[in-house]
Structure 1
Amino acid sequence: MGFHAAIYQIWKERNFRIFESKSTHKTQILKRILGDICFKMNQLTACRETPHARAIEAAKIFGYKFSDMVRTVHHCSWAKPQKDEVKINSDASLESHCASIGGLIRDDLGMSLAMFSVDTDMEDIYVLELKAIFQGIILAKAKSYSKIWIESDSQFAVNIILKQESTPWNCWNLVSDIFTTLEGFVSWKITHSWREGNSPADLLSKPSYPFKGLDIPVEHSTAQLLHLIEEDRNEVKYARVYLR
């Protein structure tokens, strides 16, 4: 973390000096590096019940205080759709050498009706998340469902469709296609889900998922996927621990 933070701040200072002909004192640059490290440590420990001893030792070196933080716990679970609608959960995965999208459609009993897992071109993650949402919508249309509830763990993608965020230029056509397709449904809605409540879609989005296709037969569900779907059916609650 120290190496990456130092390189990043040196690069910023380099641009500051070249393009604005100004400079920052070295002590201020050091403070920024330490600030970046502390911020990253906050992220790494955000899901731990108790910070690791080595993390505490490193925190002392960089002046980071775990004791100043307040622990809050939020619980989340997958919510079932209404009897007359189906729910689409989607996700995207971007790795160093490949990208893929995945998702599934379930009924009010939590039963899987359809699913997809497709390798795709490497693009910005928000583009991939929108692609995953679009693919879920297309699959629902092909199955002749009339009322859909879309759920994604990408808040940015959800906000774009809700028109609460400006649409990036590189996905204007994609978002336009999403809205055009949505016009064919009797009703639709979209909400954000925490990652813990989107586990089956997360698994299907992995490049390593053994079955690929735009409409994978539900009998091709792996044991792990079936387990996650069953947990959702039983409304298992997942704890999200925040350190503030």
Structure 2
Amino acid sequence: MAARSRATSINHLELLGILAGLQLNCAGTPILKYVSESVSSTAMTWAKGRGNIPWTVFQTLRQIKVITDTLSEWKVTHVYREGNRVVDALAALQSQIGSIFFPSSKLTSEIENFLHEDKDGINQIRIPRC
């Protein structure tokens, strides 16, 4: 999903992504356990209610807490940006077709391959940048 944002920082944007995932997958459903992933260790810390949290993200954190309080188990984990090929490819596709939502028929074969690899648990190699 791509859209305009009310984010005050890149870490706030990551929190909004965590919130959107929770809203799409957990709100009003009988899901008891859920894992959120973020490329931002700072956003992960804030989502857990720790660290030096700026006031500008409190409302987003409250919304996350309302949903996560309904779950028996919730954790947020770090994923390296390089390992998030599906999101990067979807963002690039969205910028090409100019739509916020697009049907699955618009998915490229590359994105479909990434999704299959993710589903099958195939790890992506992280190549450190020099």
Residue 235 (str. 1) matches residue 122 (str. 2): yes
Structure 2 unaligned segments of length 5 or more: list them: none
Q: CA RMSD in A?
A: 2.5
Q: Which has the higher strand share?
A: 1
Q: Distance in 1 between matches of 2:91 and 2:70?
A: 26
Q: Which consecutive segments of 4 or more residues in structure 1 shift more than 4 A? A: 216-220
Instruction: Say yes or no: does 1:185 pair with 2:71.
Output: yes
Question: 2:66 matched to 1:194?
Answer: no
Quote how far apart the aligned CAs of 1:157 are.
0.7
Larger radius of gyration: 1
Question: How far apart are 1:132 and its partner, in Å?
Answer: 0.9
Deviation of 1:219 after TM superposition, in Å, equals: 4.9
Aligned-residue sequence identity (percent) comes to 25
| Equivalent residue, structure 2, for 1:79 | none
Shift of 1:165: 1.9
Higher helix share: 2
Deviations 1:16-68 (A, max 9, x none): xxxxxxxxxxxxxxxxxxxxxxxxxxxxxxxxxxxxxxxxxxxxxxxxxxxxx
Change (3 A) 1:209 1:130: farther
Match of 2:43 in 1: 157
Aligned partners of 2:23 and 2:67 also within 8 Å:
yes
Q: How does 1:127-142 map to 2 (within 5 A)?
A: 127-142=12-27
Q: TM-score, normalised by structure 2?
A: 0.78
Structure 1 pair 142–205 and aligned structure 2 pair: CA distance change class (3 A): farther
Letter in 2 for 1:186: S
Whether the aligned pair in 1 keeps the contact of 2:83 and 2:126 (CA below 8 Å) is: no
Deviation digits for residues 113-153 of structure 1, max 9, x if unmatched? Answer: xxxx1311364211211111100000012472331111111
User: Given the two structures, how large is their TM-score scaled by the length of structure 1?
Assistant: 0.45
Which residue is equivalent to 2:3?
A: 119
CA displacement at 1:155 relative to structure 2: 1.3
List alignment gaps of at least 5 residues for structure 1: 1-116
Contact 1:151 1:193 in 2 (8 A): yes
For residues 189 and 221 of structure 1, do their structure 2 counterparts lie closer, same or farther at Cα, with a shift above 3 Å needed? Answer: same
